[in-house]
């Protein structure tokens, strides 16, 4: 955290009260304030709406989601197999309805995005196509710490291909005593590994620290040494503005249950740049739903796989209709509001949060580990607070929902769709009280 003002006081009432008044004023002036009404806000221990700041883990339920799911249940009930073609949203092409809204979210062309599977499964599918070791070029670069599922996916994938993961996964990690990865260190590692590097796989926004990487710059650096670049956008999709197509990203994968509010275990997303998607010869793990729909039901009569152009050519199975339904409700809201407006509010929310923490928490009690610069973070702010888990529990008791990652990181994510400046104030107030309390 940057130096606190000299007068930073314990959780003194005047400072806290001023913060609350400011929060109320910011909410009154917020052009997006009406969106909150479209989501179910869980209650806290007192039965009142909690300050839910955990959209980085599981986004809230859009009120319109239930109706979308019920429509599919009704079509199943009334039409059964006929709903594949005669349903209100024919199941045969259900995933195609997500092309445009999915693409808008990540700055892609419609044919470059398919919503399918889950994140880690999609990462495996992408590795099958884009990890192409040849000669000395066998290494994968990741960031440290990467989300464990990504590390498991990459290492196990290498092992399946007969490549020793211990020798072939290189990690761009924070320097000793630092919390985030210096981009110049990642760039230097890419340059150093150059002819040995096959692929860069990084999180667009790091799951632990909330650090937002410069995807365009790192992708370009990978390409300059002859490697490819793929991104895990679990913490970036629906959070920050992305331009995957323009940035020449090779592939990306994400989940839809965090910032995209698609519900627990919701369908993931997958981006394949058009220069790859248009290449039917690219090796892939194929399934019938990636086949040309015109011949898909020819079944055994045409046994050869004829890939659809674009990201759709990587889809293996028919889509889970009940899982798509809430996502449709949520993406309609994203389409209406747009990422630019959401990002603008998000920067104001996190700026308000870090300023408040400076003002209301005792010096030395809280250390923000997320980069201060708005361009180097999304809406998640991660911090280490005095009292660790006990402090986190005190927040929960005060009706503030955020999350805790061992050994001592509290992650808090004001989400512009449904969080208020007052939610942020509640968090800062509860945190100030918790860290000021004698342990
Ligand atoms: C950064 C990141 N990558 C991968 C995953 C794993 O996602 P899934 O369970 O959908 O495969 C998560 C889950 O939270 C995540 O945060």
Atom 10 (ligand 1) nearest CA? 119
| Per-residue confidence (pLDDT) for residue 8, from 0 to 100 | 37
For residue 272, what are the β-bridge partners?
Answer: 251
- The proportion of the chain whose per-residue pLDDT surpasses 90, expressed as a percent, equals 87
State in Å, rounded, how far the first CA of the chain is from the last one.
Answer: 23
State the helix-helix crossing angle for 339-360 and 13-28, rounded to 10 degrees.
170
In whole angstroms, give the CA distance from residue 367 to residue 382: 9
Q: Which CATH architecture has domain 68-336?
A: 3-Layer(aba) Sandwich (3.40)
In whole angstroms, give the CA distance from residue 233 to residue 258: 11
Token pair, residue 375, equals 């361009």
Q: Fold identical between 13-60+339-436 and 68-336?
A: no
In whole angstroms, give the CA distance from residue 250 to residue 15: 49
User: How many A from CA of 285 to the centre of ligand 1?
Assistant: 21
Q: Which of 18-22, 228-232, 244-248 has the lowest mean pLDDT?
A: 18-22
| 230 φ, ψ (degrees, to nearest 5) | -125, 150
Give mean pLDDT, residues 338-362: 95
Q: Which ligand 1 atom minimizes the distance to the CA of 265?
A: 10
Q: Which CATH architecture has domain 13-60+339-436?
A: Alpha-Beta Complex (3.90)
The answer for residues whose C-beta is within 8 angstroms of residue 126's C-beta and 6 or more apart is: 230, 251, 253, 270, 272, 314
Q: Which ligand 1 atom minimizes the distance to the CA of 146?
A: 1
pLDDT band at 439 (very low <50, low <70, confident <90, very high): low
- Whether pTM > 0.85 for this model: the answer is yes
Q: Output the CA angle 89-94-96, nearest 5 degrees.
A: 125
Give mean pLDDT, residues 383-412: 94
| Per-residue confidence (pLDDT) for residue 6, from 0 to 100 | 33
Residues within a 6 A CB radius of ligand 1 = 118-120, 147, 149-150, 203, 207, 232, 234-235, 255, 268
Ligand 1, residues 154, 157, 207, 259: which to mutate, most atoms within 8 A of Cβ? 207
Coil, strand or helix: which one is 375? Answer: helix
DSSP state of 47: S
Ligand 1, residues 122, 147, 403: which to mutate, most atoms within 8 A of Cβ? 147
In the chain, domain spans? 13-60+339-436, 68-336
In whole angstroms, give the CA distance from residue 396 to residue 45: 8
In whole angstroms, give the CA distance from residue 37 to residue 47: 18
User: How many A from CA of 405 to the centre of ligand 1?
Assistant: 14
pLDDT tens-digit map of 83-99: 999 988 999 989 888 99
**Residues listed for the chain:** 439
For residue 170, what are the β-bridge partners?
Answer: 141
Measured CA to CA in angstroms, residue 422 lies from 49, 51, 62, 367, 414 at distances of 12, 8, 20, 22, 10
Which H or E run includes 333? helix 321-337
Ligand 1, residues 58, 120, 260: which to mutate, most atoms within 8 A of Cβ? 120
User: How many A from CA of 262 to the centre of ligand 1?
Assistant: 14
Kindly tell me the burial class for residue 406, based on how many C-beta atoms sit within 10 Å of its own C-beta (0-12, 13-18, 19 or more): exposed
User: How many A from CA of 269 to the centre of ligand 1?
Assistant: 12
| Per-residue confidence (pLDDT) for residue 13, from 0 to 100 | 56
Bridge pairing between strands 51-52 and 400-401: parallel
Decide if 278 contacts 309 (C-beta within 8 A). yes
Q: Which ligand 1 atom minimizes the distance to the CA of 118?
A: 10
Token pair, residue 36, equals 């909150």
User: How many A from CA of 335 to the centre of ligand 1?
Assistant: 24
| Per-residue confidence (pLDDT) for residue 1, from 0 to 100 | 37
pLDDT tens-digit map of 105-121: 999 999 999 999 999 99
User: How many A from CA of 301 to the centre of ligand 1?
Assistant: 39
In whole angstroms, give the CA distance from residue 173 to residue 167: 16
More confident: 71 or 361:
71
Q: Which ligand 1 atom minimizes the distance to the CA of 258?
A: 14
| Per-residue confidence (pLDDT) for residue 173, from 0 to 100 | 97
| Per-residue confidence (pLDDT) for residue 87, from 0 to 100 | 87
Give mean pLDDT, residues 37-46: 96
The neighbour count for residue 137, using CB atoms within 10 Å, is 17
């Amino acid at each position: 955290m940057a130096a606190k003002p000299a007068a930073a006081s314990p959780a003194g009432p005047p400072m806290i009260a001023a913060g609350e008044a400011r929060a109320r004023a910011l909410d009154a002036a917020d052009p997006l304030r009406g969106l909150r009404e479209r989501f179910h806000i869980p209650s806290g221990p007192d039965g009142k709406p909690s300050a839910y700041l955990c959209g980085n883990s599981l986004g809230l339920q859009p009120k319109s989601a239930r109706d979308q799911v019920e429509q599919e249940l009704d079509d199943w009930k009334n039409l059964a197999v006929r709903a594949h073609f005669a349903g209100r949203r024919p199941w045969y092409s259900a995933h195609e309805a997500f092309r445009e809204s999915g693409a808008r979210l990540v700055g892609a062309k419609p044919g470059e995005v398919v919503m399918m599977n889950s994140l880690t499964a999609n990462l495996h599918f992408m590795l099958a196509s884009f990890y192409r070791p040849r000669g000395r070029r066998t290494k994968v670069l990741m960031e440290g710490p990467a989300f464990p599922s990504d590390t498991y996916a990459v290492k196990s994938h290498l092992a399946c291909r007969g490549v020793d993961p211990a020798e072939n996964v290189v990690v761009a990690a924070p320097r000793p005593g630092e919390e985030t990865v210096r981009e110049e260190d990642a760039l230097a590692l890419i340059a150093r590994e150059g002819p040995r590097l096959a692929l860069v796989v990084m999180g667009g926004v790091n799951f632990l620290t909330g650090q937002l990487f410069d995807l365009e710059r790192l992708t370009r650096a990978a390409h300059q040494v002859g490697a490819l670049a793929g991104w895990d956008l679990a913490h970036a999709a629906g959070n920050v503005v992305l331009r995957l197509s323009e940035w020449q990203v090779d592939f990306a994968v994400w989940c839809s249950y965090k910032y995209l509010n698609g519900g627990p275990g919701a369908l993931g997303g997958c981006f394949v740049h058009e220069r790859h998607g248009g290449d039917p010869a690219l090796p892939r793990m194929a399934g019938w739903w990636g086949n040309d729909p015109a011949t898909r039901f020819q079944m055994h009569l045409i046994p050869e796989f004829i890939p659809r152009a674009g990201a759709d050519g990587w889809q293996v199975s028919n889509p889970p209709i009940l899982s798509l339904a809430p996502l449709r409700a949520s993406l309609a809201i994203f389409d209406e509001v747009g990422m630019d407006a959401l990002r603008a509010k998000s920067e104001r929310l996190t700026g308000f949060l870090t300023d408040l923490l400076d003002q209301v928490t005792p010096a030395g009690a809280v250390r923000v580990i997320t980069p201060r610069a708005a361009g180097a973070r999304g809406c998640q702010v991660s911090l280490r607070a005095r009292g660790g888990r006990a402090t986190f529990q005190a927040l929960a008791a005060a009706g503030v929902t955020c999350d805790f990652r061992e050994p001592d990181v509290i992650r808090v994510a004001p989400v512009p769709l449904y969080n208020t400046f007052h939610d942020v104030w509640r968090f800062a107030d509860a945190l100030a009280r918790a860290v000021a309390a004698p342990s």
